[in-house]
Structure 1
Amino acid sequence: MSMLLHTWDCSPLRFREIAAHLARTEQADLVLSAPGYPAETTPIIGIRPIAELVFDGDTTPDDVREFCFGSPGLSMGYVSYDYGMILRNIPSGKPRHMSLGHLKKYAATIEYKASTGQAVLSCVDSGILDSVTGVIEQPVSIAAIFDAMPCTPPDISLDQAAYEQGVRQTLEHIRSGLTYQLNLSTRLTWYCPGLDPLSLFLHLEHRHPAPFYAWYNSGCHRILSTSPERFIQVVDGLVLSQPIKGTLRSEDDSPETIRRLTESPKERAELSMIVDLIRNDISANCEYGSVRVDNHLSVFRVDNLLQMYSDVTGRLRSDRDCLDLFFDAFPGGSITGCPKRSSMAIIEELEPHARGIYCGSMVVIRDRLNMDSSIAIRTAVFDTVSNTLDTYAGSGIVVDSTPTSEYEETMAKAEKFFRTAPQ
C-alpha cells in the first residue's frame, strides 16, 4: 500500500484549527503538543480508521506487534493500566467500563513538523487526498469557547478522609518493607448531561498547555488526556524516558522557589527511586552500558505546579523492538511504585476503582525502532451513554509523606478540571 504525501506551510495555530475541525467533522483522533516542554512530541491527526485492534484479556504483545508492524502506516491509541495488571499477573474483580486497549491505523494522517513549520498529509488514495486537502484549504476556526461543565459536584471514590486513610495504610506497608514508594489515586465522577467533551478538550488545551494532549474516540468513550509526562520514546533505536516525580504548587519560578523543590529530601527521594526503577525497566532491552541518567532533578512548570523530572536514556538492542521495550516496562514506574509488582498489588487493594486508561499510556507507534508514549495522567474519560466524566489524580507516597499534604497535592493535580466547573 503506497502512501501519497502533501506538504504545506502551516502555523501552529492553523494546525490546531484544522485538528479541531477534523475532530468535529470526521471524528478524527488527535495528539497535540505545546512547544517548549521537555516531553514535547509531534502533533498528529488520525483520520478515518482502516484497521483497529481492541484489546481484551486474551490480547498478547505479539498480537499488538502483528497489528503495528504487519502493515504500513503508524498506529495510534491507548494501552490501559488494567492491561498492565494482566501483564504483571495481578488479578482484579473490579468492573471495567472500557477496553483494555485500542489501536487504530488510518486512511490519512496529518503531522506537524515544528522544526520546519510545515504540515505533512499522508494518505492511502487520491480520493482521500482530495477530500482532506479540501478541508485544509477551508477557512475553519477552533470550536466555540467552553464556559463550564453543566454538571453536579463529583462523586469521589476516595474522599479526603478515605484518601488520607489510604496514605496511612501505605505508610504501614512501607514500614513493613512491602513497598518504598507507591502512587495512590482517587477518581472523580461528574454527571454531565449535555457536555460537549471535544469543546472541553479544546478549552483545556488552550488554557492549560502541556506536551501530551490526546483526544481519542473509543466506542462510546471519549478520552481527554492532558498529560505532561513522557513514558518512553524511541527514535531510530535511541530510547528516552522522562519520569516526573516531585511537585510544588507555586506561581513563583524564582531560583529560591525551585531550590525548595530540588533540595527537598522527600521530593528528591521520590524522583531518585523512580529513576532507578526506570533504569532497570529499560536496561533489559537496551545495549549493555548504554543506559544513563541526564538532567537529574530538572524542573519545569505545567499549570500552577513545578515538577521535577530526569532523562533516562539508552540504545535499543539490535534483537529488540520498541514494543519489547514498552511492554516490559509497562505500566510506568512513576504511577505504580517500587518495587513495581508489589506496589501494584497494594494499589489494587487500596483503590476502590479500576484505573482504566488513567496511568496507562497514549501511544504512537511508527515502526520497530520509532514510537512515542505518554503516562496518561491528568486524563479524563467521557461516557457518551451514561453522560459521566471520570477524572483521576494521585500522588507518590514515601516514608516521610503526610496524609493531608498528599491529599492536597492530589487535588492540585485535578484542579484544571475543577476550574471548568461552576463555582
Structure 2
Amino acid sequence: MSSCYSLQKALSQFDLSAAEILLRLQQLTGLIYLNDDDHPVIAFLPQQYQLIQDQHSQHFVRDAAWHYQQQSSPVVLEDWVNCQNNATAPTATQFHGGWMGFVGYDYAARQDVAAPLHAQPALYLGQYLSFLKYEKTQGWVFYSLEDIQTAEHIFQKIHALLDVDAPKTAFQLTQTCQARWSKAEYIQAFDRIIDYIRAGDCYQINLTQQFIGQAQGLLLETAEQFWQLTNAPYAGYLKIGDFELLSCSPELFIDFQAQQQIVTRPIKGTMPRYPDPEQDQQSKQRLIQSEKDQAENLMIVDLLRNDLSVYAEIGSVKTNKLFEIESFEQVHHMVSEIQANLKSDIQPIQMLLKASPGGSITGAPKIRAMQIIAELEQQPRGAYCGSLGYFNQDGTGRWNILIRSVQKYQQEISMWAGGGITIASQAEAEYQECFDKISAMLNLLNTWQG
C-alpha cells in the first residue's frame, strides 16, 4: 500500500466477516461497505458528507467532538468531488481514500424527467479518509489519511468496538414482503409498453415491480445470509439514519480506471439456474442461442456506447465483449463490455451523475423510456437501479448498478425486480423472469417473518 497513510495497522486478531464487523460498528456515522469485486472495504466517520433528501441538499462536517455540524449552504457535488485525474499505474481499481456513497434512481432520473421521489435519502456521498480493507495476506487492516492524532483516536475507537460482541436489534418482518402488483396488473403495464413500442415511442423499456413489506430492527442483521446466498461481486451496505441499503448486485455500472479509461458492463438477458447440472446447462444454452436476448442486449450496448461517447475522446469507444454468459447463484446473465477514454476536462463525478441511471435499467431511447417507467410503475424506485460505489482522489473508482438490493426506510422494506421489454417479449415469460431473479432473496427475507 501507499506510504502516504498517516496510520496503517493490521487487525488480524479479529477474524470476522464483513457483516460481523459492520454489526459491531453499527453506531458509527456513515457506515458503508463495498465488496468491490472481491476487494472488501468498510468505511466510517466521514470527514464530511453531502445528503439529498426531500429535494433538499445538506452538507455536514465532522467537528473535533466527533459530531456533525450542518453547513449553512450545501456544496456543488461536481466541485466538491474534485478528483485529480492523475492515476497512471495500470493496476486494478481499489479504494484507497476518497468518496463513497450512492446515487439513487429517482435523483438521477429527475435530471431529465418528472420521476416520482421517495421520502428516503436520494443521494449520499461522504469523504472517507479512514477505513478497513481486507488484505488476503493480513486480514483486516486499518488505514487512515487523517492527521496522525485523529487517525490514532479513530483506530482506538474501532479497536474497542471490534473487541466486544455486536448489540442485537432482533430484526423481523411485521408484514410479509410481497408483490405490490397482481399478475393482471403487471400484464396491463406490459401491454401498454408493447403499444408504445408499436407507436414508435421506444424500442425497449425496463419494467420493474416492487415487492414491499414492513419490518422492525436493523436490516444489517440479515446481511451475512444474503451475501452468502448471492455471492455477488458488487455487494454492499450503507446506513444513513433510519435508511439502510443492502446490495447483492452482480452488475458493474462504470469502472473508472487509470489513464482515463472507463469500462461499463451492462447485463441484459436472463435464464434461471437449476440444481440438476444437465438442466442448468440447457438453460444456459437457451440464453446463448436466444436471438431475443441478443437483440435486447445489443440495444443497451448501443445506448451505452452513445452515453459514453458524450464524455469520451473521439474514436475511443470500443465494444470489448458481446453476449458473454456469466453464471451467478440464481441466474445466468448475458453480459457485454464497452470501454472508452474519458476526456481530460471531464470530472469522473460529472460523468457518473449525467450517465445515471444506467441504460440497462431504463431502456431506449433513454429519456422517453424513463418517462414511460414513471407513468407505468407509479412508485418511486428509491435507490434501486441507482448506483453504489466510490471515487479515489486520483480519479479512479468503481460503481455498481443497484439491482438485487433491499431497501429499508423507517418501517418499510422493499425489493424490486424486472427486465427489458421489447417487441419480441412475451408477457408470461417476462413476468416469470421477475421471480427468477428475486425469488431466492424474497424467500430468504420472508424467513424473518415475526
TM-score (normalised: structure 2)? 0.82
CA deviation vs aligned residue, 1:272-322 (integer Å, no higher than 9, x gap):
111111111111211222211122111222221011111111111222221
Counterpart CA distance in 2 for 1:180 and 1:141 is 55
1:400 aligned to 2:424?
Answer: yes
Counterpart CA distance in 2 for 1:235 and 1:224 is 25
Q: Which residue of 1 aligns with 2:397?
A: 371
Q: Which residue of 1 aligns with 2:443?
A: 418
Counterpart CA distance in 1 for 2:166 and 2:231 is 17
Q: Which residue of 1 aligns with 2:92?
A: none
SS in 1 for 2:176: coil
Q: 1:282 aligns with which of 299, 302, 308?
A: 308
**Residues 329 and 107 (structure 1), Cα distance of their counterparts in 2 relative to 1, 3 Å cut:** closer
Q: How many residues align?
A: 412
State whether residues 32 and 211 of structure 1, in contact with CA within 8 Å, keep that contact through their aligned partners in structure 2.
no
Counterpart CA distance in 1 for 2:14 and 2:328 is 19
1:91 aligned to 2:91?
Answer: no
Q: Which residue of 1 aligns with 2:89?
A: none
With 57-66 and 321-330 compared, the bigger mean Cα shift is at: 57-66
CA deviation vs aligned residue, 1:330-373 (integer Å, no higher than 9, x gap):
11000000100011111111002011111111121213621211
Structure 2 counterpart of 1:51, one-letter code: Q
Counterpart CA distance in 1 for 2:75 and 2:320 is 32
State whether residues 20 and 142 of structure 1, in contact with CA within 8 Å, keep that contact through their aligned partners in structure 2.
no
1:31 aligned to 2:44?
Answer: no
Q: Which residue of 1 aligns with 2:184?
A: 161
After the TM superposition, which residues 239-250 of structure 1 pair with which residues of structure 2 at under 5 Å, given as runs?
239-250=262-273
State whether residues 78 and 101 of structure 1, in contact with CA within 8 Å, keep that contact through their aligned partners in structure 2.
yes
**Residues 400 and 101 (structure 1), Cα distance of their counterparts in 2 relative to 1, 3 Å cut:** same
After the TM superposition, which residues 216-255 of structure 1 pair with which residues of structure 2 at under 5 Å, given as runs?
216-236=238-258, 237-251=260-274, 252=277
SS in 2 for 1:204: helix
Q: Which residue of 1 aligns with 2:122?
A: 100
Counterpart CA distance in 1 for 2:200 and 2:57 is 34
Counterpart CA distance in 2 for 1:145 and 1:276 is 48
Q: Gaps (5+ residues) in structure 1? A: 34-38
Structure 2 counterpart of 1:64, one-letter code: L
Structure 2 counterpart of 1:163, one-letter code: Y
State whether residues 69 and 368 of structure 1, in contact with CA within 8 Å, keep that contact through their aligned partners in structure 2.
no
SS in 2 for 1:346: helix
Q: 2:225 aligns with which of 185, 200, 203?
A: 203
Q: Which residue of 2 aligns with 1:69?
A: 82
Q: 1:121 aligns with which of 130, 137, 143?
A: 143
CA deviation vs aligned residue, 1:363-420 (integer Å, no higher than 9, x gap):
2121362121111111121123xx2211111111111111111111112222213233
SS in 2 for 1:26: coil
Structure 2 counterpart of 1:417, one-letter code: L
Counterpart CA distance in 2 for 1:271 and 1:13 is 42
Q: 2:39 aligns with which of 29, 32, 42?
A: 42
1:293 aligned to 2:319?
Answer: yes
Structure 1 counterpart of 2:252, one-letter code: R
**Residues 200 and 343 (structure 1), Cα distance of their counterparts in 2 relative to 1, 3 Å cut:** same
TM-score (normalised: structure 1)? 0.87
Counterpart CA distance in 2 for 1:352 and 1:201 is 29
With 13-22 and 245-254 compared, the bigger mean Cα shift is at: 13-22
State whether residues 271 and 297 of structure 1, in contact with CA within 8 Å, keep that contact through their aligned partners in structure 2.
yes
**Residues 336 and 70 (structure 1), Cα distance of their counterparts in 2 relative to 1, 3 Å cut:** closer
Counterpart CA distance in 2 for 1:117 and 1:192 is 34
State whether residues 20 and 202 of structure 1, in contact with CA within 8 Å, keep that contact through their aligned partners in structure 2.
no
Q: Which residue of 2 aligns with 1:52?
A: 49
Q: Deviation of residue 26 (structure 1)?
A: 2.9
Structure 2 counterpart of 1:296, one-letter code: L
**Residues 146 and 314 (structure 1), Cα distance of their counterparts in 2 relative to 1, 3 Å cut:** farther
Q: Deviation of residue 100 (structure 1)?
A: 2.3
With 128-137 and 103-112 compared, the bigger mean Cα shift is at: 128-137
Structure 2 counterpart of 1:374, one-letter code: N
Q: Deviation of residue 23 (structure 1)?
A: 3.5
What RMSD in Å do the two structures reach over aligned CA positions? 3.2
State whether residues 81 and 355 of structure 1, in contact with CA within 8 Å, keep that contact through their aligned partners in structure 2.
yes
After the TM superposition, which residues 125-136 of structure 1 pair with which residues of structure 2 at under 5 Å, given as runs?
125-129=148-152, 131-132=154-155, 135-136=158-159
SS in 2 for 1:151: strand
**Residues 149 and 315 (structure 1), Cα distance of their counterparts in 2 relative to 1, 3 Å cut:** same
